[in-house]
């Protein structure tokens, strides 16, 4: 039985593509920048200003005080209110060996009916209040760290719960004092990340280089073509395809002349193009402040999980379980404006098409969007992708207006469109697994090991093949009585892909699957254990100083591998290039290989966390291993993409120009030999 929800149902709003894609991205961008969590938000700072102090107390039962200065008109909820009402809470971190004995609220505690909670009486403070918290800690324990989570209200404005961290430690006299919860600048930490000995303009040998000028333009052209292809696919979806003859006929019939009809249709197609390009504009603001922000977003664990849920929702929608639509009020408002008889009216007609077709184009747009997030210069990449997508959707309206006789050659709408939707449903299901795999790799959960992932993809592929061959049926989309050649051909392609993946379930030399390298989990992330199937293993992982020490001890140059757990091209290099006979011996015998993971979310020891000042004067928090090595790369090599390879000697002098993704094993081997030549020249000069 087909389940169909009305567009006003809560699930329809929750599963609408803008809500799932754009809102989720905004939330995680904010979380990565720590803007709200660290500072409590600008509005919260204006409403409630907190100060912390410790009161004299003997032994291991310190008395800490939280002082609130409450803005005019604001009400701060008390800690005594239940969870079902507006409230404030004080908790200690799990790392603290102790517990709260009690909270004493000082100040004028007021009570009143609260309109926000259906007239239920709540307790609150105005003007000021001091909260004294008695804490019992274990003898000899460290700092007292915790979180103050508060809510406040002023008329219809509500803030919270806002989390504000606090910290208390032992003073010189043994008493307790309030300490800063923010990171402090560290001269030694900054010197560790800024390598004055590295001069990109004067390596020992001038071989190598990323070739960003040439490869960048080719890459952008490729992204544009990919977006154009995605737009063509979206053009043939049920939400879009029937609009072509209807819209073109509308413009030609309503126009007072043929030239006006052509002009209107061309403008309509142009505005479709513009609307999709505008989608990429906000991402320029995301990347402006931090060269690594897009990489940080794309490898965020919970963002990848969220995208997995998004694609799963799209898949279920394409399978007919429910329909994804935009809120009716939003669609109706835009549609009403499209009736304006002017250029503005044509623009809103184009915007209406974009909105009403979102249920079909959303999955394709989402794929382009999240794909661009993982690339260096993702905002520019996204603009080119959206431009290609918008051009493919808008161009037919202009062309059919110029050549109206072409309309007769269009295929009729029918069951083939539903078939296309079902096929895309299976593809979205595979994408959901892919993004969950990214999160699994970054966190090392071990839920989607290589063979588990491949097994899930193989089952998905088998189901798709059975559907295309008419064995698997969907109630709303029965297979045709006679399978067409196109459907059989596509089914055979997916069947070949399934057969290709089957050896990946084994632990043999046939399990490498070079064509899928980087797309599926790496060889060493296996149910069979950590045996690397001939892979090149790094001498050191995430320890740059240790690699330099080994290089001095063994008198070898260092190959720095800036990589990431969720980096597809990194896996292709490791599994296809590094394992080649001409590259593998060079790395293993002549270099100290250190792999630095820029997306590693493991926290650094507390005494190694600090506030870093970049060359442009901006501040950046160094909290995780990934923060440290992403900054090391961007500050010294002016690059934030992965993979990125650097050759240095034990004294941190640059031997060659760095290189990026190099799929040619011969070219990569030549670069490594050039680095060895530079190292021996340097050693010879030093020896003399």
What value does the mean pLDDT of the chain take? 76
Give the pLDDT of residue 428.
80
Give the separation between CA 515 and CA 557, rounded to whole angstroms: 32
Residue 38 has pLDDT above 60, yes or no: no
Give the pLDDT of residue 481.
62
Instruction: Render pLDDT for 563-572 as a digit per residue (tens, 0 to 9).
Output: 988 787 888 8
Beta strand ranges found along 56-180 (DSSP E): 63-70, 75-77, 89-92, 98-106, 110-114, 120-125, 128-137, 144-154, 157-170, 176-178
**Length of the chain measured in residues:** 688
CA nearest to 433, candidates 300, 304, 317, 569: 304
Residue 6 has pLDDT above 70, yes or no: no
Q: Residue 659 carries which DSSP code?
A: B
Under 8 Å CB-to-CB from 444, ≥6 apart: which residues? none
Instruction: Render pLDDT for 69-127 as a digit per residue (tens, 0 to 9).
Output: 998 889 999 999 998 888 999 988 877 888 899 999 999 999 999 888 888 899 999 99
Distances (CA, A) of 59 to 86, 146, 514: 35, 20, 64
Give the pLDDT of residue 461.
93
Instruction: Render pLDDT for 491-544 as a digit per residue (tens, 0 to 9).
Output: 999 999 999 999 989 877 778 887 887 788 887 788 876 555 567 889 999 999
CB 675 within 8 A of CB 655: yes
CATH numbers and ranges of domains, the chain: 10-27+236-412 (no CATH), 37-182 (2.60.40.1250), 191-212+534-687 (3.40.30.10)
Give the separation between CA 110 and CA 560, rounded to whole angstroms: 62
Tell which wins on pLDDT, 273 or 223: 273
Instruction: Render pLDDT for 370-404 as a digit per residue (tens, 0 to 9).
Output: 555 444 445 677 788 888 888 888 887 777 766 66
Q: Tell me the pairing of strands 619-622 and 610-613.
A: antiparallel
Tell which wins on pLDDT, 348 or 517: 517
Q: Give the count of beta carbons closer than 10 Å to the beta carbon of residue 505.
A: 15
Give the pLDDT of residue 552.
94
Distance from chain centroid for Cα 443: 14
Phi, psi dihedrals of residue 666, rounded to the nearest 5°: -65, -45
Unique residue bearing structure tokens 């403008």 = 267
Give the pLDDT of residue 245.
59
Phi, psi dihedrals of residue 449, rounded to the nearest 5°: -60, 165
Give the pLDDT of residue 355.
62
Beta strand ranges found along 392-490 (DSSP E): none
CB 235 within 8 A of CB 396: yes
Under 8 Å CB-to-CB from 296, ≥6 apart: which residues? 32, 290, 599, 626, 630
Q: Residue 18 carries which DSSP code?
A: I
Both tokens of 134, joined, read: 């008695």
Distances (CA, A) of 663 to 453, 514, 574: 25, 12, 10
**What confidence category does residue 299 fall into, taking pLDDT thresholds of 50, 70 and 90?**
low
CB 81 within 8 A of CB 87: yes
Give the separation between CA 597 and CA 626, rounded to whole angstroms: 6
Under 8 Å CB-to-CB from 648, ≥6 apart: which residues? 198, 557, 558, 560, 654, 655
Give the pLDDT of residue 492.
93
Paired residues of 562 in beta bridges: 596, 644
Please tell me whether residue 163 adopts helix, strand or coil conformation: strand
271-292 burial code (b ≥16 CB/10 A, e <16): bbbebbbebbeebeebbeebbb
Angle in degrees, CA 304, 35, 152, rounded to 5: 110
CA atoms within 13 A on the CB side of 369: 27
Residue 554 has pLDDT above 50, yes or no: yes
Paired residues of 168 in beta bridges: 144, 178
Give the separation between CA 258 and CA 133, rounded to whole angstroms: 80
Angle in degrees, CA 562, 568, 569, rounded to 5: 60
Please tell me whether residue 221 adopts helix, strand or coil conformation: helix
Residue 247 has pLDDT above 70, yes or no: no
Give this prediction's pTM. 0.60
CA nearest to 122, candidates 88, 92, 168: 88
Residue 584 has pLDDT above 80, yes or no: yes
605-625 burial code (b ≥16 CB/10 A, e <16): eeeebbbbebeeeeebbbbbb
Q: Tell me the pairing of strands 75-77 and 120-125.
A: antiparallel
Phi, psi dihedrals of residue 359, rounded to the nearest 5°: -65, -25
**What confidence category does residue 545 fall into, taking pLDDT thresholds of 50, 70 and 90?**
very high
3-state helix, strand, coil split of the chain in percent (to 5) is 50, 20, 35
Q: Tell me the pairing of strands 592-597 and 558-563.
A: parallel
Unique residue bearing structure tokens 């004080």 = 90
CA nearest to 290, candidates 198, 190, 376, 349: 376
Please tell me whether residue 120 adopts helix, strand or coil conformation: strand
Both tokens of 461, joined, read: 């592929």
Tell which wins on pLDDT, 679 or 270: 679
Instruction: Render pLDDT for 184-193 as a digit per residue (tens, 0 to 9).
Output: 666 667 778 8
Residue 632 has pLDDT above 80, yes or no: yes
Residue 10 has pLDDT above 60, yes or no: no
Unique residue bearing structure tokens 């006979």 = 581
Both tokens of 570, joined, read: 């990194």
Both tokens of 24, joined, read: 């989720």
Round to the nearest angstrom and report the end-to-end CA distance of the chain.
84
Both tokens of 124, joined, read: 């609150």
Instruction: Render pLDDT for 416-434 as a digit per residue (tens, 0 to 9).
Output: 667 777 887 888 888 889 8
Give the pLDDT of residue 43.
56
């Amino acid at each position: 039985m087909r389940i169909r929800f009305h567009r006003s149902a809560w699930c329809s709003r929750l599963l609408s593509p803008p809500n799932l894609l754009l809102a989720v991205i905004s939330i995680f961008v904010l979380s990565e920048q720590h803007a709200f969590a660290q500072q409590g938000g600008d509005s919260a700072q204006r409403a409630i200003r907190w100060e912390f102090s410790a009161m004299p107390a003997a032994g291991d039962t310190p008395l800490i005080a939280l002082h609130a200065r409450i803005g005019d008109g604001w009400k701060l909820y008390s800690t005594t209110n239940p969870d079902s009402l507006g409230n404030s809470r004080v908790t200690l971190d799990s790392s603290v060996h102790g517990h709260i004995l009690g909270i004493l609220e000082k100040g004028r505690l007021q009570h009143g009916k609260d309109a926000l909670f259906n007239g239920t009486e709540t307790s609150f403070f105005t003007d000021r209040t001091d909260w004294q918290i008695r804490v019992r800690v274990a003898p000899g324990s460290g700092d007292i760290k915790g979180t103050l989570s508060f809510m406040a209200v002023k008329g219809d404005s509500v803030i919270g719960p806002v989390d504000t961290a606090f910290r208390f430690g032992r003073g010189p006299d043994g008493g307790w004092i309030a300490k800063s919860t923010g990171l402090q600048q560290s001269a030694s930490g900054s010197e560790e990340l800024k390598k004055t000995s590295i001069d990109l303009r004067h390596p020992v040998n001038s071989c190598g280089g990323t070739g960003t000028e040439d490869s960048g333009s080719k890459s952008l052209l490729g992204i544009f073509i990919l977006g154009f292809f995605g737009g063509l696919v979206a053009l043939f979806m049920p939400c879009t395809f029937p609009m072509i003859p209807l819209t073109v006929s509308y413009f030609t019939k309503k126009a007072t002349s043929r030239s006006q009809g052509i002009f209107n249709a061309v403008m309509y197609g142009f505005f479709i193009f513009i609307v999709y390009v505008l989608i990429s504009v906000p991402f320029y603001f995301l990347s402006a402040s931090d060269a690594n922000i897009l990489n940080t977003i794309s490898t965020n664990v919970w963002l990848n999980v969220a995208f997995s849920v998004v694609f799963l929702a799209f898949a279920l929608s394409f399978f007919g379980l429910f329909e994804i639509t935009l809120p009716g009020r939003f669609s109706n408002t835009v549609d009403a404006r499209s009736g304006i008889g002017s250029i503005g009216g044509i623009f809103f007609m184009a915007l209406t098409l974009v909105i009403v077709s979102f249920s079909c184009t959303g999955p394709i747009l989402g794929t382009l969007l999240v794909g661009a997030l993982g690339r260096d210069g993702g905002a520019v990449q996204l603009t080119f992708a959206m431009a290609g997508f918008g051009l493919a959707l808008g161009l037919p309206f202009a062309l059919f207006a110029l050549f109206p006789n072409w309309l007769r050659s269009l295929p009729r709408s029918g069951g083939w469109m539903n078939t296309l939707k079902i096929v895309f449903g299976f593809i979205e299901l595979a994408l959901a697994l892919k993004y969950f795999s990214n999160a699994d790799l970054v966190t090392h959960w071990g839920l989607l090991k290589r063979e588990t992932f491949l097994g899930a993809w193989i089952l998905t592929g088998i189901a798709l093949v059975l559907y295309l061959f008419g064995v698997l049926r969907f109630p709303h989309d029965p297979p045709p009585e006679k399978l067409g050649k196109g459907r059989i051909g596509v089914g055979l392609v997916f069947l070949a892909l399934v057969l290709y993946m089957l050896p990946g379930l084994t632990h043999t030399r046939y399990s490498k699957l070079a064509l899928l390298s980087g797309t599926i989990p790496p060889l060493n992330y296996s149910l069979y254990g950590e045996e690397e199937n001939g892979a090149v293993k790094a001498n050191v992982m995430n320890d740059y100083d240790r690699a330099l020490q080994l290089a001095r001890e063994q008198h070898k140059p260092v190959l720095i591998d800036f990589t990431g757990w969720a980096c597809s091209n990194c896996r292709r290099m490791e599994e296809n290039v590094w394992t080649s006979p001409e590259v593998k011996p060079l790395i293993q015998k002549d270099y100290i290989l250190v792999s630095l993971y820029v997306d590693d979310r493991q926290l650094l020891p507390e005494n190694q966390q600090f506030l870093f000042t970049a060359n442009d004067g901006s501040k950046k928090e160094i909290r995780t291993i990934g923060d440290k090595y992403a900054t090391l790369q961007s500050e010294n090599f002016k690059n934030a993409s992965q993979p990125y390879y650097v050759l240095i000697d034990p004294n941190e002098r640059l031997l060659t120009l760095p290189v990026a993704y190099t799929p040619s094993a011969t070219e990569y081997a030549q670069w490594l030999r050039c680095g060895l030549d530079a190292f021996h020249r340097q050693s010879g000069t030093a020896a003399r």
